Chains A and B, each alone.
Chain A
Amino acid sequence: MLECIPKEPVEHTIGKINPAKTCQPLGAMYASLGIHGCLPHSHGSQGCCAYHRMHLTRHFREPVLASSSSFTEGASVFGGAANLKTSIKNVFEIYNPDIMAVHTTCLSETIGDDIPNIIKQAEVPEGKVVIHANTPSYVGSHVTGFSNMCKAIVSYLAESSGTEKKEQVNILPGFVNPGDMREIKRIVGDLGVPLIMYPDTTGVLDSPLTNRYTMYADGGATIESIRDSGNSKLTLALGSWSSDAAGNLLQEKCSVPGVPLKVPIGIKATDDLIMAIKDGFGVDVPQSLTIERGQVVDTLIDTNFHYQGKKVAVFGDPDIVIPLTEFLLTMGMIPVHVLTGTPGKRFEKEIREMLEEAGITESHVKAEGDLFELHQWIKDEPVDLLIGTTYGKYIARAEDIPLVRVGFPILDRAVQPLMPIVGYRGALRLIEMISNALLERRDRDCLDEDYELVL
Chain B
Amino acid sequence: MTEGQTHPAKEGSAPDQQTVFDAAVAADERIEPRDWMPDAYRASLVRQIAQHAHSEIIGMQPEANWITRAPSLRRKAILMAKVQDEAGHGLYLYSAAETLGTSREELLDKLHAGRQKYSSIFNYPTLTWADVGAIGWLVDGAAITNQVPICRCSYGPYARAMVRICKEESFHQRQGFESLLALSQGTPEQHAMAQDAVNRWWWPSLMMFGPPDDESSHSAQSMQWKIKRHSNDELRQRFVDIAVPQAKALGLTLPDPDLRWNEERGHHDFGAIDWAEFWDVLKGNGPCNDQRITQRRRAHEEGAWVRDAAAAYASKHRKTKGEAA
A and B found bound together: no
Q: A residues engaging B (CB < 8 A)?
A: none
Q: B residues engaging A (CB < 8 A)?
A: none
